[in-house]
Amino acid sequence: MKPEIFKQELAKIGIELSDTQMRQFQRYYELLVEWNEKINLTAITDLEEVYLKHFYDSITLANALDLKDDNYSICDVGAGAGFPSIPLKIVFPNLKVSIVDSLNKRIKFLTLLCDELQLENVSLYHDRAEDFGQNKAHRESYDLVTARAVARLNVLSELCIPLVKKDGKFLALKAAKSEEEVLESKKAIATLGGKLVEEVEMTLPFIEDKRYIVVIEKKKETPKKYPRKPGTPNKKPLK
Ligand SMILES: C[S@@+](CC[C@H](N)C(=O)[O-])C[C@H]1O[C@@H](n2cnc3c(N)ncnc32)[C@H](O)[C@@H]1O
């Protein structure tokens, strides 16, 4: 998807990008490709593919809730090179973004990126989500928590739901087969204090790939023992 088409496709879903925002995406692309030569950030480096499969795909989260007016705090768990939260921050500058990732090289890239793009109200944390979720400063403190391509939903729920404040939402961006993952995770979601609200289905333009946003609302406090210690959610997923 060429940058101009990206702009047109976003306009179709009610998002109008300014010249400044278009320049921010262009600079994001340049830095991503430049840094990808030094540290592994993404397998996708072709301009049109980055605009579609990273930038546009990240912004599809806006199909699940209106991000325009509320000054939501959003935590992106395992954002890697910044997806989905940095494209969302460019489009919705009112968001208060926190990113937690266990790889310091990626946090360093994001520090430089946020500086170059002059993004305000972005906090970056080098930490494991399992420890971050037990940290009083972050536990049950975000309106929204999101993640893309980090783990299966049952594992991801343990990493993300503890960070969501009561009545807030966990939004998992998923590619195919999300129904299977949702079924497998139902009990874990309930154990962690969440409730499945809906699965928003959409299709990426041009390539017709299906995408899903699993929306989980936090109904009750998460029991203190979750998340368990680093590595355990992955080794012994909640059943
Ligand atoms: C496959 S990458 C996906 C990155 C990005 N979300 C995307 O969609 O392009 C997974 C990222 O999650 C991070 N990650 C994996 N497990 C984690 C954990 N337990 N706590 C924090 N970060 C984690 C990795 O360091 C990596 O940057």
Residues of the chain with pLDDT under 50: none
Q: Is the CB of 156 under 6 A from ligand 1?
A: no
Q: Is the CB of 113 under 6 A from ligand 1?
A: no
Q: How far apart are CA 226 and CA 54, in angstroms?
A: 30
Q: Model ipTM?
A: 0.99
Please choose from 40, 101, 228 the residue to mutate so as to test ligand 1's pocket, defined by most ligand atoms within 8 A of CB: 101
pLDDT score, position 69? 82
Q: Is the CB of 163 under 6 A from ligand 1?
A: no
pLDDT score, position 177? 67
Residue spans per domain, the chain? 3-235
Task: Report yes or no: 35 and 45 within 8 Å, Cβ to Cβ.
Answer: no
pLDDT score, position 179? 79
* Ligand 1 centroid distance, CA of 19 (Å): 31
Q: Per residue in 113-142, is it b (16+ CB within 10 Å) or e — as a string?
A: bbeebebeebebbbbbbbebbbeeebbbbb
Give nearest CA residue, ligand 1 atom 14.
78
Q: Is 148 annotated as a binding residue?
A: yes
Q: What is the pLDDT of residues 195-239, one digit of tens each?
A: 999 999 999 999 989 999 999 999 999 999 999 999 999 999 998
pLDDT score, position 70? 86
Residue type, 127: D
Q: Which CATH class is domain 3-235?
A: alpha beta
3-state secondary structure 59-127: HHHHHCCCCCCCCCEEEEECCCCCCCHHHHHHHCCCCEEEEEECCHHHHHHHHHHHHHCCCCCEEEEEC
Q: What is the pLDDT of residues 93-118, one digit of tens each?
A: 999 999 999 999 999 999 999 999 99
